[in-house]
């Protein structure tokens, strides 16, 4: 089935009121200059600030801007998932709303995809000097770990700024996985790919929505979503503890036989603490995997769309009731020379 537009640009936004005007001011000229029909899918990830209302205002001037509002905050990767599901382009680009990924690079990505006839074009950061030292170090550690656990094809400079063909997006949309980490899943699929390098800029306004706790969550999801090797840690620790126990039993028996059984508080204390700690850690590891199985077996939707401006039958949370989006008024404006295509 032919897609409605050539390009969909998916942008998850969480409390980006301060950044959204800057973002639109740079994204629009970059896309208008492409000469292809496009839509921008702004996914509002349950923002508590005025992101949605500002987007709705901007939409009046820019009909290609489509707002998909989620019912609550579900996190960056899941918001991205909602955007990929909603996107209707032949090519789909995912980009952050804070202008850390320059929108001008989208044109290069599209050109590279066509020129080299590939399914994925990764935006590769040639320079991260604008990130804080903490961010650089934690990101470095994350990619080092992922390359060892997941596979050598994990690029340490590829984030979520990438272009994907319809074929890739369809595969991603069919994944039953509860919390896919796209930067690892996409390369693992083995589609043909190219790279476009860019300089990571500073966040234009507002602050990072990735505190340490979310980074830790992403790391756990990345590991447990791709590898069962941590479970082997439990096996090896168990084996090691067993061998240690055998030695301790022998010394215990010898001590009992020779009548030297009074001292021993320290060794008992240490052994109890150590074994307790190791056991809890292994239980925790198991729990992470069981948790994923649990979430998958529940089969609950990872996100719920409150409204999508491309469909008229959903409720608008700001107006408190259903809204009618004037679909006839919405047109896709590609290059001025090209024919206009209705969006829905």
Using CB under 6 A, list all residues that contact ligand UDP.
Answer: 12-14, 16, 45, 73, 75-76, 79, 96-98, 100, 203, 208-210
Identify what 90 binds: ligand UDP, Mg ion, none; CB under 5 to 8 Å per kind.
none
User: Nearer Cβ to ligand UDP, position 96 or 119?
Assistant: 96
Residue whose pair of structure tokens reads 């991205």 in the numeric block: 80
For residue 45, state whether it binds Mg ion (rule: CB under 5 A).
Answer: no
Cα–Cα distance between 44 and 307 in angstroms, integer? 10
Identify what 210 binds: Mg ion, ligand UDP, none; CB under 5 to 8 Å per kind.
ligand UDP
Nearest Cα to 212, choosing from 134, 315, 299, 281?
134
Cβ 269 to Mg ion, closest distance in Å?
48
* Binding letters toward Mg ion, positions 138-157, x by CB under 5 A: --------------------
Strand, helix or coil for residue 13: strand
User: Nearer Cβ to Mg ion, position 160 or 221?
Assistant: 160
User: Nearer Cβ to ligand UDP, position 37 or 94?
Assistant: 94
User: Nearer Cβ to Mg ion, position 4 or 106?
Assistant: 106
Cα–Cα distance between 209 and 328 in angstroms, integer? 36
Cα–Cα distance between 8 and 88 in angstroms, integer? 6
For residue 16, state whether it binds Mg ion (rule: CB under 5 A).
Answer: no
**Token duo for residue 89:** 């382009």
Cα–Cα distance between 4 and 100 in angstroms, integer? 28
**Token duo for residue 212:** 């340490």
For residue 98, state whether it binds Mg ion (rule: CB under 5 A).
Answer: yes
CA distances from 31 to 3, 60, 335 (A): 18, 17, 9
* Binding letters toward Mg ion, positions 99-118, x by CB under 5 A: -x------------------
Nearest Cα to 41, choosing from 89, 76, 103?
89
User: Nearer Cβ to Mg ion, position 8 or 100?
Assistant: 100
Q: Are 5 and 93 in contact (CB under 8 A)?
A: no
**Cβ count within 10 A of residue 31:** 24
Of 18-26, 94-102, 164-172, 217-225: span binding Mg ion (CB under 5 A): 94-102
Identify what 54 binds: Mg ion, ligand UDP, none; CB under 5 to 8 Å per kind.
none
User: Nearer Cβ to Mg ion, position 36 or 96?
Assistant: 96
Identify what 73 binds: Mg ion, ligand UDP, none; CB under 5 to 8 Å per kind.
ligand UDP
Burial 34-66 (b: 16+ CB within 10 A, else e): bebbbbbbbbbbbbeeebbebbbebbeebebbb
User: Nearer Cβ to Mg ion, position 44 or 98?
Assistant: 98
Q: Which residues bind Mg ion (CB under 5 A)?
A: 96, 98, 100
């Amino acid at each position: 089935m032919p897609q409605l537009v050539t390009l969909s640009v998916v942008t998850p936004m969480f409390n980006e009121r301060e950044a959204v005007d800057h973002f639109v001011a740079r994204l629009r000229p970059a896309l208008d200059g492409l000469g292809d029909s496009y839509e921008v899918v702004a996914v509002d990830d349950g923002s508590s600030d005025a992101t949605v209302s500002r987007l709705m205002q901007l939409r009046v001037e820019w009909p290609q801007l489509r707002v998909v509002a989620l019912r609550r905050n579900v996190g960056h990767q899941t918001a991205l998932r909602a955007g990929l599901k909603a996107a209707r382009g032949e090519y789909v680009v995912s980009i952050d709303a804070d202008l850390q990924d320059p929108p001008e690079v989208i044109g290069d990505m599209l050109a590279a995809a066509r020129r080299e006839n590939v399914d994925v074009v990764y935006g590769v950061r040639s320079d991260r000097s604008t990130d804080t030292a903490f961010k650089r170090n934690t990101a470095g550690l994350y990619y080092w770990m992922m390359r060892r656990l997941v596979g050598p094809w994990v690029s340490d400079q590829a984030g979520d700024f990438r272009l994907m063909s319809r074929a890739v997006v369809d595969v991603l949309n069919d994944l039953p996985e509860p919390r896919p980490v796209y930067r690892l899943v996409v390369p693992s699929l083995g589609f043909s790919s190219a790279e476009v390098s860019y300089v990571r800029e500073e966040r234009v306004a507002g602050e990072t929505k990735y505190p340490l706790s979310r980074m830790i969550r992403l790391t756990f999801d990345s590991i447990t979503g791709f590898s069962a090797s941590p479970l082997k840690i439990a096996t090896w620790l168990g084996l090691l503890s067993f061998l240690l126990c055998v030695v301790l039993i022998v010394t215990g028996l010898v001590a009992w036989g020779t009548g030297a059984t009074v001292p021993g508080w320290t060794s008992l204390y240490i052994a109890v603490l150590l074994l307790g700690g190791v056991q809890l850690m292994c239980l925790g590891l198991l729990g992470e995997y069981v948790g994923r199985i649990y979430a998958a077996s529940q089969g609950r939707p990872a996100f719920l769309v409150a409204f999508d401006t491309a469909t008229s039958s959903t409720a608008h949370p700001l107006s408190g009731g259903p809204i009618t989006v004037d679909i006839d008024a919405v047109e896709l404006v590609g290059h001025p020379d090209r024919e206009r295509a209705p969006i829905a």
